[in-house]
Amino acid sequence: MAAIIQGIGAATALTSANSLDTKKSLFANSRRSLSERKGRLFVVRSDGRLSCGLIGRGGRAEQLITNAVAAKEDAAAASTSSKPGVVLLLVVVNGAELVQNATDSVGHIKEFVVQLDFQKKDGKTVLSEMGTRAVTNGPGAWVLLWDALESWSSRHELLLFEALREGLEEEMDRDPTVCVMGEDVGHYGGSYKVTKGLAPKYGDLRVLDTPIAENSFTGMGIGAAMTGLRPVIEGMNMGFLLLAFNQISNNCGMLHYTSGGQFKIPVVIRGPGGVGRQLGAEHSQRLESYFQSIPGIQMVACSTPYNAKGLMKAAIRSDNPVILFEHVLLYNLKERIPDEEYVLNLEEAEMVRPGEHVTILTYSRMRYHVMQAAKTLVNKGYDPEVIDIRSLKPFDLYTIGKSVKKTHRVLIVEECMRTGGIGASLTAAITENFHDYLDAPIVCLSSQDVPTPYAGTLENWTVVQPPQIVTAVEQLCQ
């Protein structure tokens, strides 16, 4: 999908006679009669290249579509992203007849013909679900395509850790009460470079390097929040924050209540966690289950550069204490995000893939294991609906319930421990609220209740893998 987005975005840079040069030319084309107007064909390939051409009525599309592959078989689907020049997406603008002409030429990629139906979601322009549909005839198709291309051209590409930094920096520019504290967050730029460059810009008082004393600087941050600041506290590793559990539980989560509402605690506690690559047991902890039972605390988990920035900004602006979970293996994910400012809802899940047969609830790194499994499931005839719950506390039961009422089957995939984990709480919430809509018991795939081994092969065995997800869905849908 990244290649698709890059390819569509690249269309704005085309300068040949076949490119979409100006809005004027689009409207000029749209005013022609249907018999005179030529259609456009966009072919997006796996290496990000985009071909653009004009096709007249009754024209053929072979010249633009080469090296195409079938998408139905597992082997082909698995190798598509690695083959340069392979057709990933065929976008046809200007009516069903043109779609038929193009797909007659290369029938084996007919399933890649999509309707250009772009929708705004959380401030982001997203494509509709893929299908064998065409854009409706008329000027609307041209305007829709132009708006989509214009939207993608107003984006910039960032890694996830850079998106976190951009969100933090924007909030520090906007609000002088926002400050950062933690180990090595200053001139070193943080253990994963989320705060790189902030100390020279804002000074040592707003970007404060602290001693290796998690309980001390976490307590200091909570006290600073009580006096009107908005501290962002970085734990170099989430496992280290267990040393500050007293401050997070007895102070951060309870002071608003125990003070009778006299104090607000607008603090963000963030840092890397999850199973990395051979980091050992103490550095591979998933602490969501530790913190979920603390009253008064919100928890969110980011999974893409887009939602990392939006959730960071929302957490800083919230008057509630928020714990932002970042996965150590997702920092180098790359995505194009909007140039304009946006803030996400801290209590809203994200619909990643609409479907009909089963609801798969996941978050953080497991989102990518689920989507990898979804490709296999689609090839086997299943239609899974994938939801990134994002808000770990409270759950977005509106979005989850709407999906459960549609699919009647639920699979939860998490990296957290099975005993007392997020999945256990989610299972209880769904059972209490939507039991009558379930046609099968809820299935929860979680990490094993063992310390994470250092050996890579053993480490993989403790975490849910895509084949396990495929098997679980097949059993659920029997």
Question: How many Å apart are CA 136 and CA 260, to the nearest integer?
Answer: 59
Q: Which of 344, 384, 355 is nearest to 473 (CA)?
A: 384
Lowest mean pLDDT among 292-306, 357-371, 419-433, 452-466: 452-466
Residue-level pLDDT at 476: 94
> How far from 75 is each of 43, 201, 472, CA to CA, in Å?
22, 51, 21
User: What's the alpha-carbon Rg for the chain, to the nearest Å?
Assistant: 24
Question: How many Å apart are CA 453 and CA 455, to the nearest integer?
Answer: 6
Is 62 one of the catalytic residues?
no
Is 283 one of the catalytic residues?
yes
In this prediction the pTM is 0.71
Residue-level pLDDT at 150: 53
Residue-level pLDDT at 446: 92
DSSP tag of 179: E
Q: Which of 162, 166, 214, 415 is catalytic?
A: 214
CB 75 within 8 A of CB 95: no
Give the up-direction half-sphere exposure of residue 323: CA atoms within 13 A in the CB hemisphere.
31
Residue-level pLDDT at 122: 55
User: Which three-class secondary structure state does DSSP give residue 251?
Assistant: helix
To the nearest whole number, what is the mean pLDDT of the chain? 76
Structure tokens given for 378: 């689609």
Q: With bands split at pLDDT 50, 70 and 90, how would you rate the model's confidence at 207? A: very high
pLDDT tens digits, 270-321: 999 888 888 877 788 888 888 999 999 999 999 999 999 999 999 999 999 9
Lowest mean pLDDT among 62-66, 156-160, 294-298, 438-442: 62-66
Q: Which of 411, 478, 404 is nearest to 436 (CA)?
A: 404
pLDDT value at 432 more than 60? yes
pLDDT tens digits, 31-61: 333 333 344 445 444 444 444 544 443 344 3
CB 183 within 8 A of CB 210: yes
Q: Which of 256, 283, 357, 369 is catalytic?
A: 283
Percent of the chain past pLDDT 70, that is, above it, reads: 68
